Structure 1
Amino acid sequence: MATALPMTAIAQDGPRVGMSWANFQEERWKIDQAGIEAALEELGGELISTDAQSSSSKQASDIESLLARDIDALMIVSQDSETILASVERALNSGVPVVAYERQIEHPDVTYVAFDPVEVGRIQARAVTGEAPEGNYVIIKGSPTDPYTTYVLQGQREIIDPMVEAGDIEVVAEQFTDGWLPSNAQRNMEQILTVEDNDVDAVLAANDGTAGGVVAALEGAGLAGDVPVSGQDGDIAALNRIARGTQTVTAWKDTRELGRLGGEVVTKIIDGEDPATIEGAQDWDKGAQGITQTAIVLSPVAITRDNLDVVVDAGWISTEDLCQGVSGDGAPEACQ
């Protein structure tokens, strides 16, 4: 049975949108959902959410339950981009349009709404190489079943490959993180540190959750704060790590903005608008299969110790949360 999450139900005659989350436990998804609900609320709509709890089989069951509720459109954060295709086909064959939210589902009739994942990787690598222009690098990738992982790696490689070819950087280890789980990232990083005898100069971690696992491993080895670490999303804990100096950068994605965009896009599709004519739409064919589909992507923002005021001024994080545990002359300007 699908797990019902908090929903907004304003009017029975507004758009009914089903949302299948791969794992609603991640901090950011709650912010995304609030943005989607805000957009639907303006149209008297209803968001019906389910949580697959990192299970592909449960996600398939959740989608069956959503379709049975006579939804007008389906949004999906996929657990496995290949396994989900059967559910996508079932929805499309039932006349229910599908939007892949943040994690791409490579299908010509699925609209993709996300922050630009390649630029995320570029942001991460630019900041980390700025701190460590040479040395031994570790790449802690995201889930192997998520195309977003490949895109982030592509962006990272655009920046570091010339430095690798020049002999300045050596990538001594690369590891996927099953389910994007911080505990898996920590275990992988601990094993790498053991194999490399702690001789690691920088870590490109795929998101803030994996960065948290990496930093925990570095703390265990007495290296936290000395080894640059990247992330993405702008999680509260990650921004605090940046303020404390144990994480170098996060590719901040204001998911309030993406949630609202997702809600606006899905309602326009329900109203019969061709996704390709929506403002900002582009052809996206960067997936593994090279399938062309319509995408609307937003640009992330690089956040480091030098511009933490950006997220404070945006109301994304309070100064108290940002600066918890931060003191002394080395505190970033946002905490002074």
Structure 2
Amino acid sequence: MKLRLAFVFCAFIFSLFAGWILRARSSQHENKSSEAELVIGLSMDTLKEERWQRDRDIFVTKAESLGAKVLVQSANSDDTRQMQDVQALLSNNIDVLVIVPHNGDAMAKAVQLAHEAGVPVMAYDRMINNCALDLYICFDNVRVGELQAQYLVERLPQSRPGRLIRILGAKTDPCSFQYKEGQDNILKPYLARGALEIIHEDWAENWKPENAKKITNAALTQHGGSFDAVLASNDGTAGGAIQALMEEGLSGKILVTGQDAELVACQRLMAGTQAMTIYLPIQKLATRAAELAVQLGKRKPVITRAGTHNGAVEVPTVLLEVITVTKENLKETVIADGFHSAREVFGERE
């Protein structure tokens, strides 16, 4: 009798243990399935520029390596279309929404819609204003403007006031105002003491090179070639300015700034038609953004060291550093990081 009771007891313990193992395995499977089912919605302003194609590819690759699926939409720089993109992404039951806004004001409504659906939102590279945004990741845009302006003032003529034209970014892009803020931080003392004059400036609608060319042409019509530099806020607008200068035989004779270290801009550095660009380590930005998106999607806390006020709240902010690139340090920066290859940049001169 005792032997039979002992046998029944052991069988009971074994069944409990086996059941626990099965439940544990089932739980592990459910967790893995849950991770695999994490869906990130990525709403992008545009994919027309090389820079944004890189951001998308790096972001998607990293997110997928973390077990997430990414649904990508591109709005072709259209506010209405981007709002439709966001609504389409939310209808696909995404866990987190990442937005590269075309218009930082217009996308406040998108954040509201996402929150109503219980979805957290991260702004990528550009701030979304006047809403309860959950997270913002970007490069230090004020520093970008400071580095651009600092490069120019260090090369101004010493015998007379320097003269420059300034091509600002798109008014719909909050980053444009941050670049301008940084530029002004450096330029104001020179302007105040008469060591520098901005003879012409305007905003390049939608960052289009053709609009930057029009701005440069207008300056050339009014002032001829009597200026020392073009303070262009990115490589696209720099390209438009350089095209206008080439048509007047001034290419390479007037300093032109830029930003993004696009391949064509790096080639212009080597050719001497563009003086500098700002290298944004996009690999770091997109990779970190994907990691943060997964954290938000899993409702894990994100700790940041900075905050940016967007007109409504202080948004937790992750800032990344930027680097000035010239002909002299191309190999040590852009090429060393694998952003472009030596063959792509130097061609036959490699």
Match of 1:147 in 2: 174
Match of 1:316 in 2: 339
Q: Which moved more, 1:314-323 or 1:89-98?
A: 314-323
Match of 2:250 in 1: 223
- Identity among equivalent positions (%) equals 30
Match of 1:110 in 2: 134
Q: Is residue 2:268 matched to residue 1:245?
A: no
Number of residue pairs matched by the alignment: 313
- Structure 1 or 2, whichever has the larger Rg, is 2
Q: Which moved more, 1:315-324 or 1:24-33?
A: 315-324
Q: Which moved more, 1:264-273 or 1:315-324?
A: 315-324
The structure-2 alpha-carbon separation of the partners of 1:217 and 1:100, relative to structure 1 and needing over 3 Å to count, comes to: same
Pick aligned residue for 1:232 from 244, 259, 280: 259
Match of 2:38 in 1: 15
Match of 1:131 in 2: 155
Pick aligned residue for 1:24 from 47, 52, 67: 47
Q: Indicate the SS of the match to 2:201.
A: strand
Tell me, which stretches of 5 or more residues in structure 1 are unaligned?
A: 1-9, 327-334
What letter is aligned with 2:177? T
Contact 2:111 2:133 in 1 (8 A): no
Question: Comparing both structures, which one devotes a greater share of its residues to helix?
Answer: 2
Offset, 1:273:
2.3
Offset, 1:70:
0.5
Taking structure 2 as the reference length, the TM-score comes to 0.85
* Distance in 2 between residues matched to 1:12 and 1:100, nearest whole Å: 22
* Distance in 2 between residues matched to 1:233 and 1:173, nearest whole Å: 23
Q: How does 1:1-336 map to 2 (within 5 A)?
A: 13-106=36-129, 107-133=131-157, 134-275=161-302, 277=303, 280-285=304-309, 287=310, 289=311, 291-309=313-331, 310-324=333-347
Taking structure 1 as the reference length, the TM-score comes to 0.89
Offset, 1:160:
1.2
Contact 2:142 2:179 in 1 (8 A): yes
User: How far does the alpha carbon of each residue in 1:16-41 deviate from its partner, in whole angstroms, 9 at most, with x for none?
Assistant: 01111111111111111122112212
* Distance in 2 between residues matched to 1:290 and 1:129, nearest whole Å: 36
What letter is aligned with 1:316? F
What letter is aligned with 1:247? Q
User: How far does the alpha carbon of each residue in 1:4-56 deviate from its partner, in whole angstroms, 9 at most, with x for none?
Assistant: xxxxxx99833201111111111111111122112212221111111101111
Offset, 1:81:
1.1
Offset, 1:291:
4.0
What letter is aligned with 2:147? I
* Distance in 1 between residues matched to 2:219 and 2:313, nearest whole Å: 36
Q: Indicate the SS of the match to 2:194.
A: coil
The structure-2 alpha-carbon separation of the partners of 1:325 and 1:96, relative to structure 1 and needing over 3 Å to count, comes to: same
What letter is aligned with 1:38? T
* Distance in 1 between residues matched to 2:180 and 2:36, nearest whole Å: 43
Contact 1:141 1:177 in 2 (8 A): yes
The structure-2 alpha-carbon separation of the partners of 1:247 and 1:291, relative to structure 1 and needing over 3 Å to count, comes to: farther
The structure-2 alpha-carbon separation of the partners of 1:144 and 1:325, relative to structure 1 and needing over 3 Å to count, comes to: farther
Q: Indicate the SS of the match to 1:131.
A: coil
Q: Indicate the SS of the match to 2:254.
A: coil
Question: Aligned Cα RMSD in Å?
Answer: 1.8
User: How far does the alpha carbon of each residue in 1:170-224 deviate from its partner, in whole angstroms, 9 at most, with x for none?
Assistant: 0111110110111111111111111112222111101111111111111111111
